[in-house]
Amino acid sequence: MNSLRHGTAPAPAMVAYIAARGTADWTAADAEPRAALPGALAAWLAQQDFPGLRARDANGDTPLMRAAWQGEEAVVEALLACGAVPDALNDDGNSALWFACLHGGPATILRLVEAGAPIDHANDDDITCLMQAAASGRVEIVRMLLALGAAPHLSAPDGRNAFDMAADRGLELLRLARRVGGR
């Protein structure tokens, strides 16, 4: 994972990258956006090296994606309240919902879906949030996504669907348990 995703790069490098990148959603209004945001949110953006609400890191991740990845429910809520785009995609085609399905909690996932994040969006590898949650062994999140209407029949390019990925994960864990248990 790149260092910009985790907020360890210096802010000047981020600003230079964004200036060179010329992203379509970067506007002059974003040059000094933190001043108009609530103090705690502005501080979080600064700590994460995001110059504004619509800024992106070197992989195209937005502040909303970063907050979802880090499982920061209050920050996700604040970003959405301030106008963060819930269905924005990074350079890999992943959304904030995809990141939340990897590391976030149910409240974050529900809030993103309510805000309009498409539940069945497939990233550039044709992997949906449901598939990723299943492959990651996040049973509670799989149940939640299904209850919210995620389509279980969608398949990845290799032909596996979310249930196949969950079964693969279970088999992997069973093999590990047998090795550790001496069987």
Over the stretch 142-175, which tens digit does the pLDDT of each residue have?
999 999 999 999 999 999 999 999 888 887 777 8
Q: How far, in Å, CA of 26 to CA of 32, rounded?
A: 12
Residue 161 belongs to domain with CATH number: 1.25.40.20
Query: Tell me: the pLDDT tens digits for 101-157?
Result: 999 899 999 999 999 999 999 999 999 999 999 999 999 999 999 999 999 999 999
pLDDT digits (tens, 9 = 90+) for 12-57: 433 443 444 444 444 434 444 565 677 889 899 999 999 988 899 9
Q: What is the pTM of this model?
A: 0.76
CA angle 134, 138, 142 (to 5 degrees): 60
Domain of 59?
A: 3-181
| Lowest model confidence (mean pLDDT) among 92-96, 120-124, 179-183 | 179-183
pLDDT at position 63: 97
Domain count, the chain: 1
Return the structure tokens found at 156.
């990845």
> What's CA 92's distance to the chain center, in Å?
11
Let me know: does 108 contact 100? Beta carbons within 8 Å: yes
| Residue 105: both structure tokens together | 């909690």
Q: Give the mean pLDDT of 66-92.
A: 95
